[in-house]
C-alpha cells in the first residue's frame, strides 16, 4: 500500500502545506511518495526528498507545469496514479482545484478537507461550516483526498533521503493558459502557517484605520494579519487575508479577533485556534462564546494599549 | 451561446444546524432552505453575461427532491430563461451530480457552465472540477472576474497568495468565488413572471446515470466544544493572562 502526495511548491522550495499532507499520508499506512511536477523544479524535488518519511520523489519537469494549471497537473497525476491507493493533496487553492478533476477521471469520489484519518478507508471531515463532523468511509479502490493542513502536524522538512525518480512529463492540454498574477507581497508569516494571527473586522471602519491599528501589533508579535469577510468586502484588507468557511482555515497558537462579531462562517475558519482573544465593544457578540479571553472595549483604545503592553 | 447554471438547495446560511441525537446526520427538518450563496453569484453572472449580449440563453439546473423547484423558480426570477430539475430522492454526492450535469451538457451543448465554488452544506468544493473532467472541458475555479471574448474566457481567480488570471478555451466550466459580483434582489413582478417560465423535469435514469453514493457516512457528531472563557476587565489583565496563564506571547 503506497500513498502519493502531490507537492505544492514554487519550483524552488516546497510549501509548508505539503509537510502536513505527508503526515496525513503516513497515517493512511504504507510508503509515502511525493510528486513534484513543475518547471525547472529540480530544487523543489531535492527539497521534497529531504522530508522525513518520504520513500520516493517523482519528478516531472515541463514548462506546462509552471503555474500548476489543473488540466496539465491532472494529466500528470493520472499518468502515475495506477500504482497508488491514496492520492493526497493539501486543501489549498491549488489542491482543491486539481483533486476533484483527478478523482472524476478515475471515477472515484473525492474526500474533501479531512482532518483525521481513522483507518485507511475512513476519514473525518467537517461539514456545515464546521458545525458538524462527518465520519465517511470510501468504498473506492483509489482514495483521492484533500487534507486540512491545520488538522495534521507538519512532517520534518529535513532528515529524509528519498531517491528522486524522473518521469516523462504529460503533454500540455492546450486548453488553458496562464496570463498573469498579482501576488500580495508580505514580509509577515503566511496566514495558514502563522503561530499568532491578529485579525480585524468591519469595526475598523477603513483601510487606513485597519493598517494603523492592526499592523503595528502584528509586527510587534511577529504575527500574520487576518480579516473577516466584512472587512475584506469593504476593502479594508486584501481578500487572501480572509479567514473563514470560504477563506483560509487557520489554527494558530493565538488568534486575536478585533472588531469581529463572530458569524458562523468566520468561526468555521478559526475555532481550532489554541487561544482565542476577542476584543469587541458589543457584549452580546457571538465571538465571546468561543473566546478564551474576552475584552469588552472599544478596539481603537484597547489595541494601542495592547501594543504598548506586550 | 447558452449558459448552464447548476444550483443547489441548501440549509440557509444563517441557520446554525444541529446534529441529530442518533448521530446519523444534521437535523434539517423544518429548517429554512435557500439557494446556495455561491450559486446565486453564478446565476447573477450568467444573467449579466446575457445582458451584455454574450449569452443568448441561461438555463438553471438543480438535482434533488421536488422542492428544488422553488430554488429553480428563484433562479428564473433573477433572470434565468428556463430550468431543468433532475428529480431524485437519493442522497446525491458531487460525483453523481457531475455525471448528471455532464449528461445535460451533452444534450444542451452550453458554451459555458457556471457553478458556485462550493455548497455550504457538504463544503466539498468538487462538482465544477469533476464536471470539467468528465466533459473534458477546461476549468477556471474560484473566479472573481470573468471576461468572455473570441471563443475564450479570461478569468481572474482567487488563489492563496493573491490573484491569478488564466485564459481558457470555450466551452468551459467556471466556479464562482464570493467577490465575483453582488447578486441582485428578486422583485415581485419577476417572481410572478418566473412562475410562467418553462421548468422541465427529468430523472437520473432518463440520463443514464447511476447516482448511488460512493462515500458512506458512518456517523455525524458535534465538534468538540471549547471550554468557556473568561472576560477580562482591562488590557493589562489580558496581557498578564496571555503571558502567564496561556503562555502564548
Nearest CB to B133; choose among A74, A140, A305:
A74
In a domain, residue A175? The reply is: no
Domain residues for A65? 2-167
For residues B233 and A293, is the Cβ–Cβ distance under 8 A? Answer: no
- Taking the CA of residue A292 as centre, how many other CA atoms within 13 Å lie in the half-sphere pointing to its CB? 21
Considering the domain architecture, whether residues A115 and A198 belong to the same structural domain is answered as no
Same domain, A262 and A143: no
Question: What is the rounded average pLDDT of the residues A60-87?
Answer: 96
Give the count of beta carbons closer than 10 Å to the beta carbon of residue B239: 18
Return d(Cα B189, Cα A115) in angstroms, integer: 47
CATH of the domain at A154: 3.40.50.620
Taking 80 as the threshold, does the pLDDT of residue A185 lie above it? no
Looking at the structure, do residues A115 and A40 belong to the same domain, yes or no?
yes
Looking at the predicted complex, does its ipTM rise above 0.90?
yes
A141 and A197 in a single domain? The answer is no
The stretch A150-172 carries a mean pLDDT of 95
Question: Is there a domain that residue A283 lies in?
Answer: yes
Residue A174 lies in a domain: no
Examine the pLDDT at B48 and tell me if it is beyond 90.
yes
Gap between the Cα atoms of B118 and B112, Å rounded: 18
Does A264 belong to an annotated binding site? Answer: yes
Smallest CA–CA distance, residue B92 to chain A, in Å, is 11
User: What's the pLDDT at B246?
Assistant: 86
Examine the domain organization and report whether A92 and A18 are in the same domain: yes
Contacts of A106 (CB under 8 A, 6+ apart): A78, A81, A142, A144
Q: Determine contact, residues A289/A268, Cβ cutoff 8 Å.
A: no
Residue A154 and residue A285 in one domain = no
- CA-CA distances (angstroms) from residue B45 to B49, B74, B178, B220, B241? 6, 15, 12, 35, 49
- Mode of pairing for the β-strands spanning A275-280 and B2-6: unpaired
Least confident of B36-45, B91-100, B218-227: B218-227
Query: Residue A282: inside a domain, yes or no?
Result: yes
Q: What is the domain-level CATH number for residue A263?
A: 3.40.50.1220
C-alpha closest to that of A114 among A106, A126, A96: A126
Q: In whole numbers, what is the pLDDT of chain B averaged over residues?
A: 96
- Last residue of a domain, which of A118, A151, A167? A167
Q: Is the pLDDT of residue B77 over 80?
A: yes
How many residues comprise chain B? Answer: 249
Q: Return the C-alpha cell found at A30.
A: 504504507
Chain B, window 79-108: residues with a beta carbon less than 8 angstroms from a chain A beta carbon: 93-95, 98
Of A111, A90, A92, A108, nearest in space to A6 by CA: A90
A211 located within any domain? yes
Residue B228 clears pLDDT 80, i.e. is over it: no
Provide the pLDDT confidence category of residue A1 given band limits of 50, 70 and 90. Answer: confident
Residue A11 included in any domain: yes
Q: What was the pLDDT predicted at A21?
A: 98
Mean pLDDT of B149-164: 94
Strand partners, A66: none
Q: Residue A304: pLDDT above 80? A: yes
Burial class of A85 by CB neighbour count within 10 A (0 to 12, 13 to 18, 19+): middle
Task: Give the pLDDT band (50/70/90) at residue A113.
Answer: very high
The Cα–Cα gap between B133 and A101 comes to 5
Domains of chain B (ranges plus CATH)?
Answer: 2-245 (3.40.50.620)
Phi, psi of A185 (to 5 degrees): -85, 135
CB contacts, 8 Å: B248 with chain A? 196, 253-254, 274-275
Cα A143 to Cα A134, B135, B214: the distances in Å are 17, 21, 11
Q: Classify residue B62 as left (phi > 0), alpha (psi -120 to 50) or beta.
A: beta
Do A153 and A289 share a domain, yes or no? no
Average pLDDT over residues B98-109: 98
Residue A248 host element (H or E): none
Please name the helix (run of DSSP H) or strand (run of DSSP E) that holds residue B60, with its range, or none.
strand B57-64
Instruction: Indicate if A199 and A288 belong to the same structural domain.
Output: yes
Tell me what pLDDT residue A170 has: 95
Of A177-191, B153-167, B190-204, the poorest mean pLDDT is in: A177-191
A89 and A47, same domain (yes or no): yes
- pLDDT-derived band at B227 (thresholds 50, 70, 90) equals confident
> What pLDDT was estimated at residue A130?
92
pLDDT of residue B37 exceeding 90, the answer is yes
**CB-based contact B215 A113, cutoff 8 Å:** no
By the 10 Å C-beta count (0-12 exposed, 13-18 middle, 19+ buried), B151 is classed as: exposed
What is the mean predicted confidence (pLDDT) over A167-192? 91
Question: Which among B16, B121, B218 has the least Cβ separation from residue A264?
Answer: B16
Instruction: In whole angstroms, give the CA distance from residue B52 to residue B14.
Output: 33
The domain tally of chain A equals 2
Does position A186 have pLDDT exceeding 80, yes or no? Answer: no
Using DSSP's 3-state secondary structure scheme, residue A143 falls into strand
- A138 and A222 in a single domain? The answer is no
| CA–CA separation, B223 and A129 (whole Å) | 11
Q: How confident is the model at residue B249 (pLDDT cuts 50, 70, 90)?
A: confident
pLDDT tens profile A242-300: 999 989 999 999 999 999 999 999 999 999 999 999 999 999 999 999 999 999 999 99
At A14-53, the pLDDT tens digits run: 999 999 999 999 999 999 999 999 999 999 999 999 999 9
> For residue A149, is it within any domain?
yes
Give the SS3 label for residue B202: strand
Amino acid at each position: 500500500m503506497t500513498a502519493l502526495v502531490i507537492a505544492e511548491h514554487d519550483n524552488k522550495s516546497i510549501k509548508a502545506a505539503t509537510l502536513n499532507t505527508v503526515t496525513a499520508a503516513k497515517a493512511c499506512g504504507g510508503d509515502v511518495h511525493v510528486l513534484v511536477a513543475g518547471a525547472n523544479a529540480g530544487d523543489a524535488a531535492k527539497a521534497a526528498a529531504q522530508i522525513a518519511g518520504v520513500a520516493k520523489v517523482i519528478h516531472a519537469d515541463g514548462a506546462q507545469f509552471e503555474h500548476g494549471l489543473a488540466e496539465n497537473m491532472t494529466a500528470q497525476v493520472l499518468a502515475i496514479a495506477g500504482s497508488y491507493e491514496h492520492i493526497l493533496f493539501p486543501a489549498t487553492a491549488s489542491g482543491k482545484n486539481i483533486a476533484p478533476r483527478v478523482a472524476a477521471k478515475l471515477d472515484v469520489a473525492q474526500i474533501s478537507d479531512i482532518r483525521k484519518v481513522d483507518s485507511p478507508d475512513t476519514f473525518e471531515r467537517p461539514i456545515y461550516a464546521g458545525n458538524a463532523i462527518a465520519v465517511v468511509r470510501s468504498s473506492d479502490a483509489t482514495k483521492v483526498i484533500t487534507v486540512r493542513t491545520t488538522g495534521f502536524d507538519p512532517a520534518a522538512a529535513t532528515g529524509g533521503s528519498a531517491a528522486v525518480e524522473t518521469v516523462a512529463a504529460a503533454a500540455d492540454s492546450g486548453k488553458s493558459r496562464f496570463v498573469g498574477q498579482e501576488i500580495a507581497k508580505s514580509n509577515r508569516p503566511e496566514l495558514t502557517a502563522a503561530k499568532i494571527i491578529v485579525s480585524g473586522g468591519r469595526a475598523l471602519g477603513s483601510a487606513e484605520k485597519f493598517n494603523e491599528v492592526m499592523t503595528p501589533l502584528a509586527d510587534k508579535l511577529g504575527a500574520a494579519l487576518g480579516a473577516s469577510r466584512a472587512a475584506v468586502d469593504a476593502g479594508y484588507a486584501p481578500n487572501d487575508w480572509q479567514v473563514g468557511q470560504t477563506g483560509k482555515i487557520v489554527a494558530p497558537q493565538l488568534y486575536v479577533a478585533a472588531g469581529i462579531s463572530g458569524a458562523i462562517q468566520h468561526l468555521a475558519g478559526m475555532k481550532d485556534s489554541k487561544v482565542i482573544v476577542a476584543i469587541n465593544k458589543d457584549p452580546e457578540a457571538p465571538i465571546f462564546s468561543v473566546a478564551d479571553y474576552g475584552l469588552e472595549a472599544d478596539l481603537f483604545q484597547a489595541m494601542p494599549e495592547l501594543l504598548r503592553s506586550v | 451561446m447558452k449558459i448552464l447554471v447548476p444550483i443547489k438547495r441548501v440549509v440557509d446560511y444563517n441557520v446554525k444546524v444541529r446534529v441529530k441525537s442518533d448521530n446519523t446526520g444534521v437535523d434539517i427538518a423544518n429548517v429554512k432552505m435557500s439557494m446556495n450563496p455561491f450559486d446565486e453569484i453564478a446565476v447573477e453572472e450568467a444573467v449579466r453575461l446575457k445582458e451584455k449580449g454574450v449569452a443568448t440563453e441561461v438555463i438553471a439546473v438543480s438535482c434533488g427532491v421536488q422542492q428544488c423547484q422553488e430554488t429553480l423558480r428563484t433562479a428564473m426570477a433573477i433572470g434565468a430563461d428556463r430550468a431543468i430539475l433532475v428529480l431524485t430522492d437519493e442522497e446525491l454526492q458531487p460525483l453523481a451530480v457531475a455525471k448528471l450535469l455532464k449528461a445535460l451538457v451533452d444534450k444542451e451543448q452550453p458554451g459555458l457552465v457556471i457553478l458556485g465554488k462550493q455548497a455550504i452544506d457538504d463544503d466539498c468544493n468538487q462538482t465544477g472540477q469533476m464536471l470539467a473532467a468528465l466533459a473534458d472541458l477546461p476549468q477556471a475555479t474560484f473566479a472573481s472576474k470573468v471576461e468572455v471574448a473570441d471563443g475564450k474566457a479570461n478569468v481572474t481567480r482567487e488563489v492563496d497568495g493573491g490573484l491569478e488570471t488564466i485564459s481558457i478555451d470555450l466551452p468551459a466550466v467556471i466556479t464562482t468565488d464570493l467577490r465575483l459580483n453582488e447578486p441582485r434582489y428578486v422583485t415581485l413582478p419577476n417572481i410572478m413572471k418566473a412562475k410562467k417560465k418553462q421548468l422541465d423535469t427529468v430523472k437520473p435514469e432518463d440520463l443514464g446515470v447511476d447516482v448511488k453514493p460512493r462515500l458512506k457516512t458512518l456517523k455525524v457528531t458535534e465538534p468538540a466544544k471549547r471550554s468557556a472563557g473568561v472576560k477580562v476587565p482591562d488590557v493589562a489583565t489580558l496581557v498578564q493572562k496571555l503571558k502567564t496563564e496561556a503562555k502564548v506571547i
